[in-house]
Amino acid sequence: MKPRPYLRAVVILISLILTAAVCADPLEKISEGAKKEGKLVFYAVLSAPETRALLDGFQHKYPAIQTEQFRLGADKMRTKILTEAKAGRHVFDVVSVNVIDSGALLSQRLFAPYRALAREAIPDGLKDEEGYWTAIYVRQFVLAYNTKIIAPKQAPKDWWELLERRWSAQLGLDAEETEWYAALANYWGKEKAQKLIKGLAAQKPSVRRGHSLIAELMSAGEFPLSLAYGSRIEEMKARGAPVDWVETTDPIVTSPSVISVSARAPHPNAAHLFLEYVLSREGQALLAKSHRVTVRKDVPILSPRLNVSRLKTFYVNPRIADRYNEYQQEYHTISWR
């Protein structure tokens, strides 16, 4: 018996509806909601050019959404967010900070979980299992040097060589290196980490504030060595600066910089859409142009030497945030302060 024409039409219609549901862009609903919201507020500790590049790329793709950025250093950004939350002000939609500050803010329930579709391209260990944060790039603490003052063969090969007499008063360090110290304490144990910090303090380093400033001063010859971010040194090398870094230090502490959605985002759909964009190949490629060590498996970095898989990489544990004040007090007690 042949099926009646109207039954066949119903079957075809249902099939078309199911096919459309399966094939529809999963971001379409989020995109439509974001267009209605019409705005995105992004808090970031990224450099101003990098922040602007991401927002410009996002707005070019989604012109109906106006973007607003607010940029501060890590400590000031954490304080700003905590102060606003205490006052009941919920301004930002998305924030990018280091993984330790993320842990501190998460402990105050300031983030909402969101499992971005693009997270699938991010390796395990660089994303929170519950979706509260996902890494967008990593910062690598490396031993850098001025190539006009120190030949590559003469450069220290490991952290402990810095304690030799010949390197006295030759090192530039940031005034606040608690994150580095805490990671070393996790890697070696506190006793060994404190031994290194005490030894460095005895070497009378030049203490400044800001890794970028220190790298520039090293490049200018104010001191021949510094603790620096590997991506920054590679970017300076590309501009012709006389700088390089040591690959053999054990470990190379590596800190993920992550992105999260506010638990009280004024524009939640725009927040989710922006997160998808930053984690996409397009967004990650924008960061890679600035020599950032991005985290997607399918986006090559400009400086293959910084590939985490070829170095003695040790990732900063976000749980350090739970004991950060303790680590900071220890660091200040045993350092040059």
Assigned token pair, 65:
């959404």
* 155 shares a domain with 233: yes
* 179 shares a domain with 155: yes
What is the per-residue pLDDT across 83-125, written as a single tens digit (0 to 9) for each? 999 999 999 999 999 999 998 899 999 999 999 999 889 988 8
* 82 shares a domain with 98: yes
Residue 6 has pLDDT above 80, yes or no: no
* 127 shares a domain with 205: no
pLDDT of residue 9: 54
- Please indicate, yes or no, if residue 6 is contained in any of the structural domains: no
Strand partners, 142: 228
Assigned token pair, 146:
């001025």
In the chain, the N- to C-terminal Cα span, in Å, equals: 92
pLDDT of residue 158: 98
Task: Indicate the residue type of 318.
Answer: P
- Please indicate, yes or no, if residue 16 is contained in any of the structural domains: no
- Please indicate, yes or no, if residue 318 is contained in any of the structural domains: no
* 43 shares a domain with 181: no
What is the per-residue pLDDT across 275-292, written as a single tens digit (0 to 9) for each? 999 999 999 999 999 889
66-71 and 94-98 strand pairing: unpaired
Q: Is residue 103 classed as helix, strand or coil in its secondary structure?
A: helix
* 224 shares a domain with 144: yes
* 263 shares a domain with 234: no
Residue 174 has pLDDT above 80, yes or no: yes
Considering only CA atoms, which of 146, 137, 136 is closest in space to residue 233?
A: 146
- Its pTM stands at 0.83
* 149 shares a domain with 263: no
* 330 shares a domain with 183: yes
- Please indicate, yes or no, if residue 11 is contained in any of the structural domains: no
- Please indicate, yes or no, if residue 21 is contained in any of the structural domains: no
- Please indicate, yes or no, if residue 3 is contained in any of the structural domains: no
Residue 20 has pLDDT above 50, yes or no: no
- Please indicate, yes or no, if residue 170 is contained in any of the structural domains: yes
* 31 shares a domain with 116: yes
* 271 shares a domain with 165: no
- Please indicate, yes or no, if residue 62 is contained in any of the structural domains: yes
For residue 271, the enclosing domain spans: 27-138+255-309
pLDDT of residue 21: 45
Q: Domain count of the chain?
A: 2
Looking at the chain, the number of H-run helices and the number of E-run strands are 12, 12
CATH number for 180:
3.40.190.10
At a CB cut-off of 8 Å and minimum separation 6, what does 171 contact? 162, 200, 203, 205, 206, 223, 225, 226, 227
DSSP codes, 111-165: EE----GGGGGSPTTSB-TTSS-EEEEEEEEEEEEETTTS-GGGS-SSGGGGGSG
Q: How far is CA 203 from CA 170, 172, 197, 200, 222, in A?
A: 8, 11, 10, 5, 16
